[in-house]
Amino acid sequence: MPDKSRQDWTSLAGEIEIESRAFIDGAYRDALSGATRETINPANGQKLADVANCGVADADRAVAVARAVFERGTWANMAPADRKMVLVRWAELIADNADEIALLECLDVGKPIADTTGVDVPSAVRTIRWSGEAIDKVYDQISPAPADCLALVQRLPLGVVAAIVPWNFPLSTTAWKLAPSLATGNSVILKPASNTPLSALRIAGLATQAGLPDGVLQVLPGPGGSLGKHLSLHEDIDGLTFTGSTEIGKQLMQYSGQSNLKRTFLELGGKSPNIVFADSNLEKAAMMAAVAVFYNGGQTCTAGTRLIVENSVKAKFVEMVVEHTRNWMPGDPLDPTTSMGPMIDAAQLQTVADYVEIGKGEGASVMAGGNQVLADSGGCYHEPTIFDGVNNNMRIAREEIFGPVMSVIGFKDAEEAVAIANDSIYGLAGAVWSNNINTAHKVAAAVRVGTMGINNYFGGDVTVPFGGFKQSGNGRDKSMHAFDDYTELKTTWIEFD
């Protein structure tokens, strides 16, 4: 819990200086066209800043700068131990400015200040520091070649990488992309989501302060449909890393095929199963079932939106989860006691409202919530909402709602639970709750997802890879495995006379 009060944060919010220009070649700059776009505080609908709205010309300029510095080798050929020092210093500078960056993220995204101070900023610091500290411990390989040969297998940076990130975890996803791509020696162009560019712009300047050579990192705010598409189709970008919707991810694969086959790694949507057996610690499972969906207002790719409960305890368990919705009533994100803020914008709020109607129309029962609240605030708040009586064929069980909406589905045995869990186009995350070690392990092994929790939800840290099976994506963020997405393998085969 941060030590500042709601009044402290509100008064800091009134004074905060917002950097709203793009970051190119080591300096903040307006878009070449002079265009700007408003960024809005979703908690009250008020404008925060007019942010540079970059276009194709800015992208070409950024790519040219990034390419030039890569070819010079200023960063790519720097000793890993020296790259490490820059990244570690950058992490320390972010930590030194933690309150300011946490406040920016709170205002821009509508995330509760308790989350941005307690999760988003510390996790970004740890991610950048960890990748930096790891990079001078990575060895290349010598193959088992014949005695008169020596074969080296080395990892080399891709070159120029574009990173496109979403609005739901702007700082975390930015760190997940920038830390390994920069550590491995690439030049990078980051396009934040149009709704949430502020934290990425702020930390870019700190990278230069930490010693990152000019031109290695660019941050270009601008529209996905034009700027993002142009970057994705660019012939002089070697790698594309993306976090966002499955729909846009599919387009990016096509852009890669239509252009230069740039390496394209995707972290996409989910409809994650949270499976509860009757023999589990039901108190803890109920508390975490609520966390799994209502954290970040359900605007979380890994949200456990399909609560799959053993029939024998379902009615009682749903009551227990309903009780927990009281702890998730939305409120002012600047209040340190708030657990859930607003939806990101009016369109997302409408999407949630539409799905609530779809669920009712499909015959599911609203056990809690179901309505917009705090409309007078000017913000986009929605109650935590629970549907019971859901079957896995309903749209509310199949489609990613990206709001605080839980769909409860019953099962009779482990086989049925696994079948329901795997009956999805997605495969991002999930969890199983059981005090029987056999049940827990067998079910966890059978569910086809990138991250599975046993008796926890949202478990994991920077040391483990994160990414999806099936239409949840093909890349991996975090851990040493993230380095694979940003490097090419090169073989050098040497023959001795």
Q: How far is the CB of 243 from ligand NAP (least distance, A)?
A: 5
Catalytic residue among 54, 301, 310, 400: 301
Find out whether 94 and 138 touch, Cβ atoms under 8 Å: no
Q: Please identify which residue in the block is written with the tokens 């705010």.
A: 221
Q: Is 165 left (phi over 0), alpha (psi -120 to 50) or beta?
A: beta
Cα 80 from Cα 102, distance rounded (Å): 30
Instruction: Report which residue's Cβ sits closest to ligand NAP.
Output: 224
Comparing CA positions, the residue from 80, 92, 68, 78 lying closest to residue 210 is: 92
Cα 301 from Cα 168, distance rounded (Å): 9
Question: Nearer Cβ to ligand NAP, position 388 or 400?
Answer: 400
Neighbours of 235 (CB within 10 A): 8
Tokens of 239: 């790698």
Burial (0-12, 13-18, 19+ Cβ within 10 Å), 331: buried
Question: Nearer Cβ to ligand NAP, position 434 or 471?
Answer: 471
Cα 151 from Cα 144, distance rounded (Å): 8
Neighbours of 66 (CB within 10 A): 26
Q: How far is the CB of 145 from ligand NAP (least distance, A)?
A: 39
Q: How far is the CB of 351 from ligand NAP (least distance, A)?
A: 10
Cα 142 from Cα 201, distance rounded (Å): 41
Q: How far is the CB of 169 from ligand NAP (least distance, A)?
A: 6
Find out whether 479 and 464 touch, Cβ atoms under 8 Å: yes
106 catalytic per annotation: no
For 55, the 3-state DSSP assignment is coil
Q: Is 166 left (phi over 0), alpha (psi -120 to 50) or beta?
A: beta
Question: Nearer Cβ to ligand NAP, position 247 or 495?
Answer: 247
Which amino acid appears at position 9 of this protein?
Answer: W
Q: How far is the CB of 359 from ligand NAP (least distance, A)?
A: 19
Q: How far is the CB of 383 from ligand NAP (least distance, A)?
A: 21
Question: Nearer Cβ to ligand NAP, position 250 or 326?
Answer: 250
301 catalytic per annotation: yes
Catalytic residue among 19, 105, 267, 400: 267
Question: Nearer Cβ to ligand NAP, position 20 or 434?
Answer: 20
Which amino acid appears at position 105 of this protein?
Answer: E
Distant-in-sequence contacts of 146-150, Cβ < 8 A, 24+ apart: 148/495, 148/496, 149/493, 149/494, 149/495, 149/496, 150/493, 150/494, 150/496
Q: CB-side exposure of 368: number of CA atoms within 13 Å?
A: 23
Q: How far is the CB of 224 from ligand NAP (least distance, A)?
A: 2
Given CA atoms 110, 115, 117, 120 in this order, what sign does their dihedral have? negative
E-strand stretches of 180-227: 187-191, 217-219
Question: Nearer Cβ to ligand NAP, position 185 or 473?
Answer: 473
Q: How far is the CB of 314 from ligand NAP (least distance, A)?
A: 27
Point out which residues bind ligand NAP (CB under 6 A).
164-169, 173, 191, 193-195, 223-225, 228-229, 232, 243-245, 248, 251, 267-270, 301, 400, 402, 428, 468, 472-473
| Strand partners for 381 | 373
Which residues carry out catalysis?
267, 301
